[in-house]
Amino acid sequence: LAEELFSYHIDDKAKRLAEMMDGKLLLVTNAEGLSAQNVIQRYKSLADIERGFKVLKSEIEIGPVYHRLPERIRAHASICFMAL
């Protein structure tokens, strides 16, 4: 593009912040009153639950099931949770 059609500005403060966060996992939550350690523990337990569902569905060879109605979504999640 011609110079008069294209220009940019680098926000040095935003760039420094992005460089500080590069390669790191940043957990953001809207749950008030949780310590940083509690947020990390809850995040790790979520990963354990997801891993468990993956094992559960692969062991009994259940394919993805798509539900549209909220009550069916809740029922499916409840059955999977009880099975796990």
Q: What is the pLDDT of residues 13-46, one digit of tens each?
A: 999 999 999 998 888 899 899 999 999 998 888 8
Domain carrying residue 49: 25-83
| 81 closest CA partner among 47, 45, 56 | 56
CA atoms within 13 A on the CB side of 46: 7
71: in domain: yes
67: in domain: yes
pTM exceeds 0.85: no
40: in domain: yes
Q: What is the mean pLDDT of the chain?
A: 84
Tokens found for residue 70: 């909220």
Q: 84 with 62: CB under 8 angstroms?
A: no
Q: Give the total number of structural domains in the chain.
A: 1
17: in domain: no
Q: Give the long-range contacts of residues 62-68, CB within 8 A, separation 24 or more.
A: none
58: in domain: yes
Q: How far apart are CA 80 and CA 84, in angstroms?
A: 6
16: in domain: no
Q: 48 with 56: CB under 8 angstroms?
A: no
54: in domain: yes
pLDDT of 61 over the 70 cut: no
